[in-house]
Amino acid sequence: MRGFLASSIGVTCAAALALPLTLPSSGARAATPAAESPAGSAVAAAPARAAGSVPGSTQSLPLAPSGSDRSLGPASSEQGIARRDVRPFSLVGVVWDDPEAELHGSVQVRTRATGTTVWSGWQDVETHNHEHAADPGTPERGTGAVRGSTAPLWVGDSDGVEIRVRAEPERPARPARAAATATTTESPSAAPLPKGLRLELVDPGDEPPQQGAQAEAARATTLTAQTAAASAVNADLAPMGATVIPELTRRQTQDDLIAARGGTEAAGKAGPFIGPRPRIITRKGWGADEKLREKDFAYTKTVKAAFVHHSASGNNYRCSQASSVLRSIYRYHVESSGWRDFGYNFAVDKCGNIYEGRAGGVAKPVLGAHTLGFNTNSMGIAVLGTYSSSTPPKAAVNAVARLTAWKLGLYGANPRGTTHLKSGGGNLYKKGANVRLKVISGHRDGFATECPGSRLYKKLGKARSSSARFQGR
């Protein structure tokens, strides 16, 4: 902590250890294509992973016009993929060429559990995801590799898939007089689907081995350059190569912050208002492949607000699978959507475990890609799951409160208060607008979206009061 608020050796180490890494072109991100086999036929199993090999993979399959729409080609209003065998995967999503285009319609998928003949029912994939992205005009947005994308959906270990994408109907605009005198009812036409629709099937790879303190110390000397860089920025909080940043009491957290500011114990009795540092599972702890992301870290000046999201990836995961869910979303964000790294600064699972998200240091003001228009001077927290009609577990809401009490406390922000952020552009506020927002906001407060789901959004009042209490306010 001291090194973060002063000059961190971690940053120096990260700069020295990181090797050049560029994102592959959008064409390269197609990964290895799935076997072109009809449903029911055998598909060769993926080769076993060698020690030290890159875990996980992505299969990218182009969608085709369906049924009577086939003659329309790319202009079709319904596209999909019929039932087929593929290599094992656990998460699905749909991407398209233009990141500014929106998919107005429905995406439904059904999958077959690996090694069985059992197919799931049709599951909805959340289509409105472009509001989770880097701000317009930023380097991350302007790489030329960014794509439009749906939210990712966790489906569990599967080796068969079927998908259908249908444009929603829209009525053509008509002059008022024509509308008033019309004697027949016009059938609504369908809005065109975005170009270049592809189904992304993500295999998260194997779970990272469980490590005790002795094993962690041994492995810390054999870290790759990218992993060492991601770990070095947390070096003041945990040893190099650590899988977990340990929790501290509120007094320990305060003492660290007071010392970092060059103050005395007496000077800190009236504050600082900061909650106890929670236990945080590091990127190494959940098995992030550091070779996927861009090598550099991007920062803002401060952290004035926290935006709470749900991942919209469904609730059909066990907490023991949360690391796999994170690795899948990470790969989907980088390889499929073209982002520089995992989009959110932190993630929380339904059991209340807290995870480091985008690389750069958990105590630092890392620039994310979570709330289009308001990524600067804020942080994004994704609660893994979908909470539009499901109530988030108390453990998850409490974890949001504990995390924000600590992180916002580092920057002097009151969880019960309001702040001002300058809009980078979006569908609610024009670029440059100085917007007043609650310090703990839902994604929908900065962008017209359902996120973080109505049930989780209703719990933010509880999170604010709990967070303030953890800070001692």
Q: Are 133 and 367 in contact (CB under 8 A)?
A: no
351 alpha-carbon distance from chain centroid: 18
The amino acid sitting at 199 is L
Q: Are 287 and 55 in contact (CB under 8 A)?
A: yes
State the residue for tokens 């490590």. Answer: 211
Q: Are 242 and 231 in contact (CB under 8 A)?
A: yes
Q: Bridge-partner residues for 201, per DSSP?
A: 59, 92
* Angle of helix 250-260 versus helix 394-410 axis, rounded to 10: 20
Rounded mean pLDDT, 431-458:
94
Cα–Cα distance, 96 to 113 (Å, whole number): 26
* Angle of helix 394-410 versus helix 460-471 axis, rounded to 10: 50
Q: Are 77 and 167 in contact (CB under 8 A)?
A: yes
Which is nearest to 424 in space by CA: 362, 367, 347? 367
Res 50 pLDDT > 50: no
Sheet holding 440-442, edge to edge: 244-245, 280-281, 354-356, 346-348, 378-383, 305-310, 440-442
When mean pLDDT is compared across 19-23, 70-74, 469-473, the lowest value belongs to 19-23
When mean pLDDT is compared across 220-224, 328-332, 432-436, the lowest value belongs to 220-224
Does residue 181 come out as left (phi exceeding 0), alpha (psi in the -120 to 50 range) or beta?
alpha
326-384: pLDDT as tens digits? 999 999 999 999 999 999 999 999 999 999 999 999 999 999 999 989 999 999 999 99
Rounded mean pLDDT, 238-248:
96
pLDDT bin (cut points 50, 70, 90) of residue 19 is very low
Q: Which domains does the chain have, with CATH numbers?
A: 2-13+209-471 (3.40.80.10), 23-40+55-170+192-203 (2.60.120)
Cα–Cα distance, 431 to 249 (Å, whole number): 41
- For residue 96, what is the enclosing H or E element? strand 78-96
113-154: pLDDT as tens digits? 999 999 999 999 998 766 677 877 788 887 888 999 999 999
Checking DSSP bridges between strand 346-348 and strand 305-310, what pairing results, if any? unpaired
Answer with the residue of higher pLDDT: 100 or 300: 300
Res 160 pLDDT > 80: yes
Rounded mean pLDDT, 100-106:
91
Cα–Cα distance, 327 to 321 (Å, whole number): 10
Rounded mean pLDDT, 417-424:
95
244-270: pLDDT as tens digits? 999 999 999 999 888 877 765 544 454
Cα–Cα distance, 205 to 227 (Å, whole number): 17
Summary mean pLDDT of the chain: 83
Cα–Cα distance, 362 to 300 (Å, whole number): 13
Cα–Cα distance, 10 to 288 (Å, whole number): 19
56-74: pLDDT as tens digits? 999 999 999 986 555 555 5
Cα–Cα distance, 167 to 63 (Å, whole number): 14
Q: Is the peptide bond before 452 cis (omega within 30 degrees of 0)?
A: yes
Which is nearest to 88 in space by CA: 186, 41, 157? 157
pTM confidence score: 0.83
List C-alpha distances in Å: 365 to 344, 412, 445.
12, 13, 21
